[in-house]
Amino acid sequence: MRSLFAAVACAVLCVSVAQAEKRVFIIANSADGYGIDRCLATGSRCGSAAAHAYCKSREFAQAVSFHKVDKDDITGAIPSEGNVCANGQCEQFVAIECTR
């Protein structure tokens, strides 16, 4: 009886862990002329559709959150020196948190 209880408990825990899988994607917030970049960076309501579509394209169910990220918050991924700003515009980044 105890082994049956343990097996059921293990199955429940495994299912709940699989459902809670989350991943954060850091993407360049490049101005593309469509306004999606402004929606994502400012956290506007129009950005939720873009974030949701991004998560779907990565085989996740939905976007949990999205927001602008400072390059200093991204450890070791973006060089702190160098040509990050081109033509007077500095590249910005957006974090999109997706869940399965």
Alpha carbons 56 and 35: distance in angstroms, whole number: 20
What tokens were used for 30?
């490049």
Digitized pLDDT (tens) for each residue of the chain, 100 residues in all = 555 455 556 565 555 555 568 999 988 777 665 566 777 877 777 888 889 999 999 999 999 998 888 777 776 655 555 555 666 566 778 889 999 9
For residue 61, the model assigns a pLDDT of 94
For residue 15, the model assigns a pLDDT of 54
Contact 22, 64 (CB under 8 A): yes
